[in-house]
């Protein structure tokens, strides 16, 4: 079983405008709503790939009820803790000539409520996978992920961490199966500019030395680079289409990589399906759907064959 953890889920309210001008009333041309949160996004794309998962996390208030209802409609098994106070956040994504986002803080999570989440992780068994994705709410300590992983110590669990800066590096002692920084996140971790592919490879390799088994670096328009647990490098490009959505592409890549490896045991296949899922989301108004993933995977295979 795959378990995903979303500590601060949201309803993402996407507004599309022809143009956006500060200081005046702007009229939208369309609006959309999506259930958001990086772990939830991973569960959603896994579902499109025919793989079941259980989503852990916290919800609160009327927006929390909407999140649970939405996950149920998506066919995702949600085992969330309902908080006593507050409301789950609504994030506003503005799509105009430029993209802007307003991400809210979310409800307070008490120590008692976090302890309930730790207890839920006791159901995770040898051979299962846990995905820790996204930032930690301000109401929790920055050691929240470390506390979850410490609880799992001694079990043969495949760990995936998609986080930034110290939140990521503190997890490396637990030998995660997969981490997925991008170029900017590598720069932030090592406090240096990624001016060449050698810089990227050197930093990704250093993360392996620090404990990560596999490091995927998403390179935007340049595709993705994987350094696997044997130190072997894998590269893939991307399909060239108009990008209509950047939200969730990285989460989609994580889902595709997990699914690809579970099905094939091949890191090349895992990277290929991960890239296909990331591309499919980037070229869709919301998260990737099965049909688009299949289309992207076929095009990537053609590209690899041509090379």
Residue-level pLDDT at 45: 96
Backbone angles phi, psi at 58, to 5 degrees: -130, 140
Residue-level pLDDT at 307: 44
Residue-level pLDDT at 78: 94
The CA radius of gyration of the chain, in Å to the nearest whole number, is 19
Mean pLDDT of 171-185: 94
DSSP secondary structure, the chain, as one string: -EEEEESS-EEEEEEE-S---TTS----SEEEEEEE-HHHHHHHHHHHTT--EEEEEEE-HHHHHHHHHHHHHTT-EEEEEEPSSS--EEEEEEESSSEEEE--------HHHHHHHHHHGGG--TT-EEEEESPPPTTS-TTHHHHHHHHTTTS--EEEEE--HHHHHTTGGG--SEE--BHHHHHHHHTS---SHHHHHHHHHHHHHTT-SEEEEE-GGG-EEEE-TTS-EEEE----------TTHHHHHHHHHHHHHHHH--HHHHHHHHHHHHHHHHTSSSS--HHHHHHHHHHHHHHHHH-
Tokens of 193: 């500019």
Catalytic machinery residues? 251
pLDDT digits (tens, 9 = 90+) for 114-149: 999 999 999 999 999 999 998 888 888 889 999 999
Helix axes 38-48, 290-306, angle to 10 degrees: 80
pLDDT digits (tens, 9 = 90+) for 225-237: 999 999 999 998 8
Residue-level pLDDT at 221: 78
What count of other Cβ atoms lies within 10 Å of the Cβ of residue 231?
9
d(CA 269, CA 261): 7
User: What does the mean pLDDT of the chain come to?
Assistant: 92
Residue-level pLDDT at 274: 96
Confidence grade of residue 305 (pLDDT, cut at 50, 70, 90): low
User: 29 pLDDT exceeds 80?
Assistant: yes
What pTM did the predictor assign?
A: 0.91
Residue-level pLDDT at 293: 96
What count of other Cβ atoms lies within 10 Å of the Cβ of residue 194?
21
Nearest to 53 by CA among 153, 189, 158: 158
d(CA 4, CA 6): 7
Convert 38-106 into a string of H (helix), E (strand) and C (coil).
HHHHHHHHHHHCCCCEEEEEEECHHHHHHHHHHHHHCCCEEEEEECCCCCCEEEEEEECCCEEEECCCC
User: 256 pLDDT exceeds 60?
Assistant: yes
β-strand pairing of 30-36 with 10-16: antiparallel
């Amino acid at each position: 079983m795959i378990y995903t953890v979303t500590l601060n889920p949201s309803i993402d309210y996407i507004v599309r405008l022809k143009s956006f001008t500060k200081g005046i009333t702007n009229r939208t041309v369309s609006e959309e709503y999506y259930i958001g949160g990086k772990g939830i996004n991973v569960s959603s794309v896994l579902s499109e790939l025919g793989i079941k998962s259980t989503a852990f996390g916290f919800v609160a208030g009327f927006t929390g009820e909407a999140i649970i209802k939405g996950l149920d409609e998506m066919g995702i098994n949600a085992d969330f803790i309902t908080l006593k106070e507050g409301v789950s956040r609504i994030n506003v994504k503005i799509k105009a000539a430029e993209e802007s986002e307003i991400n809210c803080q979310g409800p307070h999570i008490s120590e008692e409520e976090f302890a309930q989440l730790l207890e839920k992780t006791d159901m995770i068994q040898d051979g299962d996978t846990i995905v820790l994705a996204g930032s930690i709410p301000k109401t929790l300590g920055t050691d929240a992920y470390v506390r979850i992983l410490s609880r799992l110590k001694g079990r043969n669990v495949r760990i995936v961490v998609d986080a930034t800066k110290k939140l990521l590096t503190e997890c490396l002692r637990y030998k995660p199966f997969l981490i997925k920084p991008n170029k900017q996140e590598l720069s932030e971790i090592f406090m240096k500019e990624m001016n060449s592919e050698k810089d990227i490879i050197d930093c990704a390799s250093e993360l392996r030395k620090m404990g990560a088994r596999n490091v995927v670096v998403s390179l935007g328009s340049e595709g993705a680079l994987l350094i696997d647990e044997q130190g072997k490098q894998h590269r893939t490009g991307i399909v060239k289409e108009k990008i209509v959505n950047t939200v969730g592409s990285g989460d989609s890549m994580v889902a595709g990589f997990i699914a690809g490896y579970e099905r094939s045991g091949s890191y090349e296949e895992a990277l290929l399906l991960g890239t296909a899922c990331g591309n499919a989301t980037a070229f869709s108004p919301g998260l990737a759907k099965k049909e688009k993933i299949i289309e992207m995977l076929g095009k990537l295979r053609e590209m690899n064959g041509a090379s």
